[in-house]
Structure 1
Amino acid sequence: MPVQAKLAAAWTSFMFLYIYVDYLALYKPGAVDDILAGIVHEFDLGPTFVASALTLMAIPILMILLSTTLPARVNRTINLVVAALYIPVSIYNAVGESWTYLYFYGLSIGLEVLLLAFILRCAWTWPLRTELT
């Protein structure tokens, strides 16, 4: 299977997981009340928060397309950089959460980090002599 297809599949899986975790978090008691009060994860809802959240979601979404369309050398570099930057982002999502949801966040972060590690491995081990010309 081409490396580009593996990367696109991994970014797609990452995005499904990322979005679904956010969706399931709405079922926590008080989550919707906080949103209606204008607060998400201790941040005030406003233009800065919404733009930041959109950026955090748009980058992995665009990585699905970029992984299949960029030239190999650029593709490899972009995947290495973005996946490495998203590991701390994924881990940060559990900061401040109660121990009650430790399993939920532990599992989701573990799966996200595993997908990002897979992306890093695919990009790092990309066959240099055949595909990175």
Structure 2
Amino acid sequence: MSVNKHLTANLGEGPAGKKVKLAALWTAMMLLYIYADILSLFRPGQLQEMTEGLMGPFPATQGSLLTAAILMIIPAVMVFLSVSLKASANRWANIILGTLYTLVNISNLIGETWAYYLLFGIVEIACTALIIWHAWKWPVEEA
């Protein structure tokens, strides 16, 4: 029993760094996007709309699919950039892109009536708001 007590006494939870928290929030947001889209495939008529070349209310054109790709690539890349950029660039990238994606997530909810999608959207907005907050509160070191 003393062995277990000794092992648990040495296990500590060090604070997660700001960069790790930001990367985790971008990761969570990407997972939320994926699962919201997967569940959307089960909405009545969704697959028919897809086979008719529609992406929501928009036609699935090269331009609209490229735009959607860019919108998904940026958060994926931010997972890496959040742990690799220097503090100043990291802070501003997260504030600017967190704000942009908060607006994107809000716009995705306009006219939405499905409860599951509203829930995903609210949690996505919470993630981007936390990204902004953590980046904004980044400690400034005196030179």
TM-score, reference length from structure 2: 0.85
Alpha-carbon distance, 1:77 to partner: 0.3
SS, match of residue 44 in structure 2: coil
The 4+ residue runs of structure 1 with deviation greater than 6 A are: none
Matched, 1:53 2:65: no
Rounded Cα–Cα distance in structure 2 between residues aligned with 1:125 and 1:80: 10
Between the two proteins, the alignment pairs up a number of residues equal to 128
Alpha-carbon distance, 1:105 to partner: 2.2
Letter in 1 for 2:119: L
Task: Report which of the two structures shows the higher radius of gyration computed on alpha carbons.
Answer: 2
Alpha-carbon distance, 1:95 to partner: 2.7
Any residues of structure 2 matched to 1:107-118 within 5 Å, and which?
107-118=119-130
Map of 1:128 onto structure 2: 140
Alpha-carbon distance, 1:104 to partner: 1.4
Which residues of structure 1 form unaligned runs of 5+?
A: none
Letter in 2 for 1:116: T
Which residues of structure 2 form unaligned runs of 5+?
A: 1-15
Alpha-carbon distance, 1:61 to partner: 0.5
Alpha-carbon distance, 1:96 to partner: 3.6
Any residues of structure 2 matched to 1:3-42 within 5 Å, and which?
3-42=18-57
Rounded Cα–Cα distance in structure 2 between residues aligned with 1:55 and 1:15: 13
C-alpha RMSD of matched pairs (Å):
1.3
Identity of aligned residues (%): 37
TM-score, reference length from structure 1: 0.91
Structure with the greater relative contact order (CA < 8 A, sep ≥ 6): 1 or 2? 1
